[in-house]
Structure 1
């Protein structure tokens, strides 16, 4: 078992879950009508259809994070899978995407959003897990 990849995979699930929950509570809660799942209340130049796609994209990011987490956990638990060329490619791709995501969130929020730290930790863990 590769503990670095396992922890990185678990962090992906935690990040995705907290992203969806906090997004709903802090951003989308006040933009929903009574008993609606998708936000529709727009109080700016934004159109309702734009708000809907922002909401869908918000949660899509969480789903993709969970998928990446599942991939990392599967590779972490299968010792014979870790040495394959495709697994190394997948882990390298995840490492690059997590490090780039960290940089993007860091720059985009001027370091005020803690997500960049979690992306950085996941990137470092996957990089470390690749060499194990």
Structure 2
């Protein structure tokens, strides 16, 4: 049973890495060469940045799930550890959304709030 959880976590990490790398190399770069992307805030820069950070947030979420799967292996599941993994995952989401959109995509506010609230909850 423990082996299946470790294997699941490993597969999540592998798919997260592959998703970010292959998506950047074969999808996003080709998509961004198009000249018909929506122009928000005066150019297509916001659109490209939003697509890029949203693409990579999916991979970060899978890393977070891998962490939770590994936490499930512990004989006594510590809710605080799970809360900390979620807080860290959304903390990274916050940082990527803030930097990736130069603060224009307001999802960073939600991600920061979730991260802080998870830390404050102390795993109840």
TM-score calculated relative to the size of structure 2: 0.51
Distance change (3 Å), C-alpha of 1:45 and 1:24: closer
Residue 56 of structure 2: aligned partner: 59
Residue 11 of structure 2: aligned partner: 11
| Unaligned stretches of 5+ residues in structure 1 | 32-38, 91-132
Q: 2:37 touches 2:47 (CA, 8 Å); kept in 1?
A: no
Task: Give the superposition deviation at 1:53.
Answer: 0.5
Structure 1 residue ranges, 4+ long, deviating more than 3 angstroms after superposition:
none
Q: 1:28 touches 1:55 (CA, 8 Å); kept in 2?
A: yes
Q: Considering Cα pairs closer than 8 Å and 6+ residues apart, tell me whether 1 or 2 has the greater RCO.
A: 1
Q: 2:20 touches 2:59 (CA, 8 Å); kept in 1?
A: yes
Residue 43 of structure 1: SS of its match in structure 2? coil
Once the two structures are superposed, residues 74-112 of structure 1 have per-residue CA deviations (whole angstroms, 9 ceiling, x without a partner) of: 222x1222xx8x6xxx8xxxxxxxxxxxxxxxxxxxxxx
Task: Give the superposition deviation at 1:73.
Answer: 1.3
Residue 35 of structure 2: aligned partner: 43
TM-score calculated relative to the size of structure 1: 0.48
| Unaligned stretches of 5+ residues in structure 2 | 83-124
